[in-house]
Structure 1
Amino acid sequence: MGFIDTNLKTVAKKLSHKPSRTKPHPSLSTHKKISKLKMSYQLKLNPGPLSNEVLFLHKKHRALEVYNNPEKFRSSINIKRSDRSFWKLVRQKPIGPRVEGYIREAGFGGLLDSGYRYIDHALITALVEQWRHETHTFHLPVGETTVTLQDVNVLWGLPIEGVPVCGADNALTFSEAAEKCERLLGFTPANNQLNGCTVFPDNSNNWINLHLLQYLEDLSSCVNISWGSAVLSCLYRNLCNATAPDAVSLSGPMSILQVWAWERIRCVAPEPYHRFNYDAPLAARWKGNLNHVDAPTHCLRSYRSQLQSVREEMFIWTRYDDVIGRLPEICTSGSSSWRSTCPLIYWENVEHHYPQRVMRQFGMVQHIPPSIPLTVEELARLHKTTWIGKTGWDWTIRHDVYVYAWYHRHDSVVEGETITSYPVIDDYMSWFMNHTVLYLTNPRSSAVPMRGFQDDGARAQMLTDAMGVIQRCDDLELAQAAAYRATEMSRQEGYSQYPSHKSSSAEVTQAMAMSTRRFKC
């Protein structure tokens, strides 16, 4: 009977036991039954998944620890970023038209248009807790969703078509590295700024590998490199790493994840003050001041609650349909690859793009997706691969199978039927609920009222779960038992004894009779 893991027949039997010959007052009798049930029956809740077929790594996920030990996970993950110094310099010394022209020629103009934006650590942390590294999707109550190649192309205008960001990590001597920095960057780093093959550009505790400088040799050729797939690979890898229970920090392109959430999830999005003219990639509409009056900000508990109880109408599946024709051409330059099932490569990183799991984002009917095409062993191997100690490796050879698959991605474009009425097939949600983690937080975990925002997301989800059990139940006593279980688990058991503000059973019966007579007429 779903995530409420219970023997409802036992509960029903105890609730309906015969009273003594001397009948007490009905409310007193019910109260005694409930009190006796409390002492003799302990409630259980299964957070999910009910089947380990899809989320076979769920026991190693941060979400399970949040459920079991909420007090240890009250704080947000620290988001590290290395672009503050860049944007500070841009504010002090604006980029001239000549340099801006080079940047746009290389395919990075959309990043300039989008500008600097603070990162809400609480929002990113809440999304990490919903991220599943087996499927590279977020598991929300409405189904699976994710950041796709389409999102990267539309939001930042980064090129998708082209060669992968991958090559040989050749060793450089100190003098060779210094000469390369002087020739391509215009400065010679000091001894303490070079460490092997990496350069330390500022004090943000982020390192940039020198092998990226080779792409500055010919800026005009940069547009023929798939920077969009590299960004998505980096995003996926960092999200996967952050799902570890002991993860305390996170890096990577979290700016695009935040904008993606604002664009698609209504209940977490602020409102831009200014009017957007659609003359730049869509992320640029979030540049400038935002109105946060109706949106949660920097509160992890509130974001958890919102994501745990998000409804179908609160998620915008086809966000770009109404605006795609008004955006610059760079935002649709990779449309032929948007629905490709393919590897995403960024040097040593290989992550996988599974559009078949989020077909509603492309305006197509969602079917039960096929099994993940990777073995558990191969998935673990890919996630453990790092560039440390791999000097001299040619990653195009090490990842030759995946490089080949990338070049043939147009052969693996997922097709589907356009949504006309129902966005999912009949048995998709049943399948999904059986394979997802439904409860991130325990609706019974807070016996003492919390300070600040009260997280009712799990409680709302649990009541919805219970109503589904009741609706499918043919036995009145079992339905009553499920209702009692739901009210007790939500710590609202006393309300079952109070007058209801809904129509009484007699009124409902009378209304149904009147309706029947109307139809007969």
Structure 2
Amino acid sequence: MKWVRWVDELKLKYESVWKKAGIFEAIMSTKSHIMKNQDLVYGVVEKWCCETNTFVLPFCEVAITLEDVMVLGGYSLFGDPVFSLLEDQEMREVEKKLIFARQQFYKSKQGKPRTSIWMDSFINKSSEIEHEAFLATWLAIFVFPHKSMVVKSCLFPIAVHLARGNPIALAPAVLASLYKDLSLFKKTIDDLKTMVKFPLEFEVNVQSPFYLVQVWVWERFKNLQPQPKLINNGDHVLLRWHKVKALKIDNVRFALDSAVDDFLWRPNVRFADKCGVFYPNDEFWICKKDLGKEMLSFVICLRVCELVGFESVEQYLPHRVAMQFGMDQDVPSYVPRFNATKAIAWKNYCRPISDKKLYFPPRFFEADVTTRYPKWWKKSVLGRDHFVMNIMKRKRGARSRKHQPHVGKTKRSSNDVGSPPGFPPNLVDTINIGTFCDDGSNTKTRKVVDLYGDVPYENTLPRKRPVSKDKLYFQ
């Protein structure tokens, strides 16, 4: 395929630059071909909650996190924001050349700089801006796709930065776009359900690598997971699902609702040697000053923050899905927004770590919930009609302000036609388009450490494993 050949050709020359910019794994993952499962995507989107940016299932609340975007997509947590300007004169000159090349399409019979013909204009043409044009293509197809499949000029500054090895934090921007598209998709479904005649097919213009949602489901729900492929050492994780056919599921909604024993809380720990995240075999504490880059990645994935994307700023709430990080789950609390401007939101994302010591759970620890969590879950979540109301009403009270946030130390081929945004050409087969809850339970507070930052989160550990005939604690 045209794109794969271009990747292999430029890899020989620019691999070291891609690694320096933190995009090597993300680029190599685009050699995968993910077979789209429309029913699966539709089914999981129905579970999305736009207020919390999580999937709400009968037995738990789960989410696509920064960790997932980094492991599955290969995107970096570190670097400058996507809205960074080009300060250097040489880089601005390169951007002008890219803009001029783009303008030529509108003056020709081709009309628009569609990704396929854009590639034809640079592959084997010995262009001085081929590398930047390549990266702009990658961004336009795989990272921030658009319905019309054109190379947008707003991507050029990022491409110019990356071509010089300057890291750009793509992970938070990609996750923000995924959250935005999931909410758009969910609201579209809800609106269509009010129609007298529900359409069998409809179109949602997503502008994110939406195939990651499907891969995320495959990685975590065993009852929805087809047989993955074996991959070689050094291969990107996404190659596990290269040309893998999805299972035929008669009722995706039922399968999701009944997956209480089939949900994998921490599948990413299997890829510790590939994803750049530190998952220790045994628990330990470490001083902030001794944190390495891989350790810092885990810390960032755990902190509540604002995700700055191209068109929106989304709230990231990992404290609602603590068990996905090997942490015991307590009642999640309301978190104020820091999204007045993109600059403020970005400052919130990259704020300094305030803790002197940080805790890392063992990779295979089976996390649990506090004794008061099942009671809150049954009242606030299982009573689904009141779920959002409970979220919005729980504001930070005087008592919660006294507590510092805590974490427990426990257990497209070349053809553009028919390719939907989110599932780029060589990744598709076909297209169908508050205050704390205090229940008075007998608990003891464990010595804990701040990882969440600005989240009124108190982690308590029950004297005994919480017991519920409804099995509201998680296995």
TM-score by length of 2: 0.58
CA contact 1:364–1:416 (8 Å) conserved in 2: no
Instruction: Call closer, same or farther: CA 1:309–1:210 in 2, change over 3 Å.
Output: same
Write the letter of the residue equivalent to 1:361.
Q
Q: Which residue of 1 aligns with 2:171?
A: 228
Q: Does 1:190 align with 2:75?
A: no
Query: Which consecutive aligned stretches of 4+ in structure 1 deviate over 4 angstroms post-superposition?
Result: 91-94, 102-105, 176-179, 192-195, 220-223, 330-333, 411-422, 437-440
- Cross-structure match for 1:407: 350
Counterpart selection for 1:138 from 55, 62, 69? 55
Structure 2: how far apart are the matches of 1:432 and 1:163? 38
Query: For the structure 1 residues 408 and 315, does the alpha-carbon distance in structure 2 shift closer, same or farther, using more than 3 Å as the test?
Result: same
| Structure 1 CA distance for aligned equivalents of residues 42 and 356 of structure 2 | 32
Q: Rate the CA distance shift 1:158–1:339 in 2: closer, same or farther, 3 A.
A: same
Cα separation, partners in 2 of 1:104 and 1:162, compared to 1, 3 Å: closer
- Structure 2 equivalent of residue 89 of structure 1: 2
**Other-structure match for 1:19:** none
Deviations 1:312-339 (A, max 9, x none): x211101123431x32548947333111
Counterpart position of 1:316: 264
1:418 deviation in Å? 5.0
Aligned-residue offset at 1:208: 4.5
Q: Structure 1 residue 264 and structure 2 residue 220: aligned?
A: yes
What is the CA–CA distance in structure 1 between the aligned matches of 2:166 and 2:224, rounded to whole Å?
A: 34
Report the Cα distance in structure 2 between the residues aligned to 1:318 and 1:214, rounded to whole angstroms. 36
Q: Give the aligned partner of residue 249 of structure 1.
A: 204
Tell me if 1:296 matches 2:284.
Answer: no
Q: Tell me the distance in 2 between the aligned counterparts of 1:223 and 1:178.
A: 15
Contact 2:61 2:320 in 1 (8 A): yes
SS of 1:138 mapped into structure 2 = strand
Q: Which residue of 2 aligns with 1:108?
A: 23
CA contact (8 A) 2:219 2:225 kept: yes
Q: Deviations over 1:361-384 (max 9, x none)?
A: 11010000112424xxx9xxx7xx
Paired position in structure 2 for 1:122: 39
- Which of these residues, 284, 292, 301, is aligned with residue 239 of structure 2? 284
2:8 match: secondary structure = coil
Query: Which of 288, 304, 307 pairs up with 2:256?
Result: 307
- Relative to structure 1, the CA distance from residue 355 to residue 398 in structure 2 (aligned partners, 3 Å threshold; closer, same or farther) is closer
For 1:356, the aligned partner's letter is: H
Extract unaligned runs of 5+ from structure 1: 1-87, 170-175, 383-396, 441-466, 470-521
CA distance in 1, matches of 2:358, 2:50: 24
Q: Are the structure 2 counterparts of residues 360 and 421 from structure 1 closer, same or farther at C-alpha, using a change threshold of 3 Å?
A: closer
Q: Which has the higher helix share?
A: 1
The answer to whether residue 281 in structure 2 is matched with residue 327 in structure 1 is no
- Which of the residues 98, 105, 113 maps onto 2:12? 98
Give me the CA root mean square deviation: 3.9
> What amino acid maps onto 1:189 in structure 2?
F
Q: Say if 1:280 and 1:328, in contact at 8 Å, map to a contact too.
A: no
Quickly say closer, same or farther: Cα 1:91–1:327, change in 2 above 3 A. closer
- 1:134 partner letter: E
2:77 partner SS: coil
Partner of 1:65: none
Letter in 2 for 1:162: G
Q: Which has the larger radius of gyration?
A: 1
What is the CA distance between 1:421 and its match in structure 2? 6.8
The one of 311, 315, 333 aligned to 1:370: 333
Measured after TM superposition, the shift of residue 416 of structure 1 is 7.7
Asked if structure 1 preserves the Cα contact closer than 8 Å seen for 2:162 and 2:168, the reply is no
Residue 34 of structure 2 contacts residue 244 of structure 2 at CA under 8 Å; is this kept in 1? no
Shift of 1:193: 8.9
Equivalent position to 2:318, from 329, 352, 355: 355
What residue ranges of structure 2 are gaps of 5+ in the alignment?
87-92, 118-146, 193-202, 279-293, 386-467, 471-475
Are 1:161 and 1:224, in contact at CA under 8 Å, matched by a contact in 2? yes
